[in-house]
Structure 1
């Protein structure tokens, strides 16, 4: 086995995941990558000595554990994990059923937690590693009509990544939540963006947002996936990797607006909201 860094990437048959896999292989890394459909992944990437394509059901702990085990058996170590698999969902909170909402959480949140749970024993053994969890700028700001459930899943990803970073720091392991803006991938196509089964016409802003994302924004996103994954690789190679990695000028703009809004709310209500301790005697 060559002593090269090993990456494990989920949701790798398209989008940012596929772009990242190709870039890493061209840069000489060992890469294990997962997809629900193995042939799609193999056809998209091609054959490389340093590539291990895996068919994985991220909602099955057994399937995830088997994939991580195969990766370690083939490459001998596990250095970087990228939880990239997920899908978008648009629909007002009232429109989306419990089943629709839970399914989005299953893939976007619990699938990633399954991977983290199975990857950490090897990383703790090595006393090294870096986990990247792909969230969204919608995981930092929820000010997107119709994306409430999706944003909630991505807020969850950001939250558990912050806790993860604190939990594994003493083992020499890092964690980063990646929060991209709009990148020109297949994310807004029908295969990656789910719409409500029972829409409510009264939600005018949601319908307008749905139409805009499906018809106007799709294929017009400003972000270049190749440039986005290059930043992720740079963060992986850096001694001072960020906990929060915002990707794209649009992500920075939205994040800065959110920070200003939060600071204003805090300042406006500071006098009343901080007078809540028991009076000292």
Structure 2
């Protein structure tokens, strides 16, 4: 029996996006998926009656709009949107140029916003739907030297997802920000992880982090992307899905440490920091 929910997944030619698409197709869902290169996507996934491969430039609004229209034309609706496309950026803030930084924001942030903007008219018409925005544990904690710009893009994704959830809840639409830890995908390979064009020797800790991610952590990540995809499908089918979906024991560990740090800072500075109204004075 087919599952009649229609999924629209970006960045589906590799990594978590590809794993998710393969699972959805095998479970009978109707799936539209995007990649910059249609050949790569079709080769990675194969041909199926319930699969619509789409070549999309996510930072081009017309390209995104065309993909959404094609999906609706073929399947009649869109039920679940997954903004998965994105890439990593590893470099100290001083090292990364304005161009390098903006390009990371273009794909990781504005590409997702383009999809949301073009998908929402259909979801509003249906009075239903669920948008998953793939962030990162680096979108909850920025304590990763050399990942400042990448973390900034993923913090942005988390922030606009929280606002999106509040905006669309009265319309019957749900939103979830997914914050994975390390999963064994191609994310740390050369095609998915950008590095500075002009590195600065002074940032030894950043170079060490770059070397560790490219040589030691890559292909040794603890997370199984197939299990991550299962959790996302479960969340999409839940009556009460989470707003924040942390994936992986490592993500939980980092999130709990961040929450504890914030609570400690708040407690230590509460007396002075809360005595800031016009009618109050601090110690």
Q: Which residue of 2 aligns with 1:75?
A: 75
Post-superposition offset of 1:204:
1.0
* Residues 78-89 of structure 1: pairs in structure 2 closer than 5 A: 78-89=78-89
Q: Which residue of 1 aligns with 2:57?
A: 57
Q: Which residue of 2 aligns with 1:200?
A: 200
Query: Runs ≥4 in structure 1, deviation > 4 angstroms?
Result: none
Q: Which residue of 2 aligns with 1:131?
A: 131
Q: Please tell me whether the aligned partners of residues 3 and 29 of structure 2 are also in contact (alpha carbons under 8 angstroms).
A: no
Distance 2:100 2:39 in 1: 28
Q: Which residue of 2 aligns with 1:231?
A: 231
Distance 1:264 1:203 in 2: 29
CA deviation string 1:255-274 (max 9, x = no partner): 00000000000000000000
TM-score, scaled relative to structure 1: 0.98
Post-superposition offset of 1:132:
0.1
Distance 1:178 1:5 in 2: 20
Post-superposition offset of 1:278:
1.5
CA pair 207-122 structure 1, distance change in 2 beyond 3 A? same
Q: Which residue of 2 aligns with 1:157?
A: 157
Q: Which residue of 2 aligns with 1:24?
A: 24
Post-superposition offset of 1:229:
0.5
Residue 210 (str. 1) matches residue 215 (str. 2): no
Q: Please tell me whether the aligned partners of residues 3 and 28 of structure 2 are also in contact (alpha carbons under 8 angstroms).
A: no
SS in 2 for 1:179: strand
Q: Which residue of 2 aligns with 1:34?
A: 34
Distance 1:265 1:114 in 2: 37
Distance 1:44 1:149 in 2: 30
SS in 2 for 1:8: strand
SS in 2 for 1:279: coil
SS in 1 for 2:262: helix
SS in 2 for 1:176: strand
Post-superposition offset of 1:3:
7.4
TM-score, scaled relative to structure 2: 0.98
Structure 2 segments unaligned to the other structure (5+ residues): none
* Residues 2-17 of structure 1: pairs in structure 2 closer than 5 A: 4-17=4-17
- Computed over aligned residues only, the root mean square deviation of the Cα atoms, in angstroms, reads 0.8
SS in 1 for 2:32: strand
Q: Which residue of 1 aligns with 2:120?
A: 120
